[in-house]
Amino acid sequence: MKNLFSLEADVAVVTGALGKLGSIWIEALLNAGASVFALDLADVKVSENFRKLQTRFDETRLKLDRTDVKDRKSLEVVCSHCLATFGVPTILVNNAGIDRPPASSSKGYRIEDIPFEENRDIFEVNTLGLFLVAQVFGSCMADAGRGSIINIGSLYASVSPDERFYDHIPGDLPFLKPPAYGASKAAVVNLTRYLATHGAPHGVRVNALSPGGVLGGQDEEFKRKFCNRVPMGRMATAEDLHGPLLFLASQASVYVTGTELLVDGGFTAW
């Protein structure tokens, strides 16, 4: 059974590597034996969690490169870097995305006043950028006849955010989760199915992994409200996400494609 989940012969590409979830995926992949080619924007600082991984794994296992998921030429350059560094990618974790977490210092909007540009930026990265990355790296996989693409979705691809989770946050206006966030993630789930049908004849599987409520610096009132809404009564930890990712990345899911795996403690069951 261990061999089913082993990634010792695999090369994984992870976008949005320096964000909140990036190091979670990378740690799971490295621990399973994969080499990881990590990607993020040029101006994003290396996170503390990513630095810790760099101290555990040298550049023969973990390499950071810079790119913009909206720039095809840049993606083609870093794809060539990956080929030269580790070889043909066999796993792609499409993690890069824009979210707008609540903060008392952030500007709020009434729903009728949300700027067009905010919605556009979210769609361009979360959906169009994801598709572009899948085109560039997925074509390498298709040529090799093997690969697993894992698109990171969200529980908000399935349900609307409950604004009562945020109504305690101070500000001139109530915090609103951007409408484009959930809509873009719903589009990711549909794109996953689309890509799966086209990748299958070439040995490339495409699935979505949709986490819900990942613990990470939220205020206590938010956590109380959110956990009361979760059947399992808690938020997800990093460790909760490792197994689902490894399942989709490995040969354990060799006959699984075009599906969405929700990891939300039962949130969407109610």
pLDDT, one tens digit per residue, over 25-44 is 999 999 999 999 999 999 99
Give the per-residue pLDDT at 106.
Answer: 62
Give the per-residue pLDDT at 173.
Answer: 81
The predicted model gives 58-71 an average pLDDT of 97
For the domain covering 2-263, report its CATH number. 3.40.50.720
Give the per-residue pLDDT at 104.
Answer: 47
Q: Which of 187, 186, 194, 141 is nearest to 161 (CA)?
A: 186
Give the separation between CA 74 and CA 45, rounded to whole angstroms. Answer: 19
**What is the C-alpha radius of gyration for the chain, rounded to an integer number of angstroms?**
18
Alpha helices in the chain (DSSP H): 2-5, 22-31, 48-56, 72-85, 116-123, 130-144, 179-199, 220-228, 238-249
pLDDT band at 105 (very low <50, low <70, confident <90, very high): low
pLDDT, one tens digit per residue, over 125-167 is 999 999 999 999 999 999 999 999 999 999 999 999 999 999 8
Lowest mean pLDDT among 94-98, 141-145, 170-174: 170-174
Q: Write out the two tokens for 185.
A: 């993630």
| 264 residue type, one letter | D
For the chain, give the percent of residues with pLDDT over 70: 97
pLDDT, one tens digit per residue, over 181-210 is 999 999 999 999 999 999 999 999 999 999
Its pTM stands at 0.95
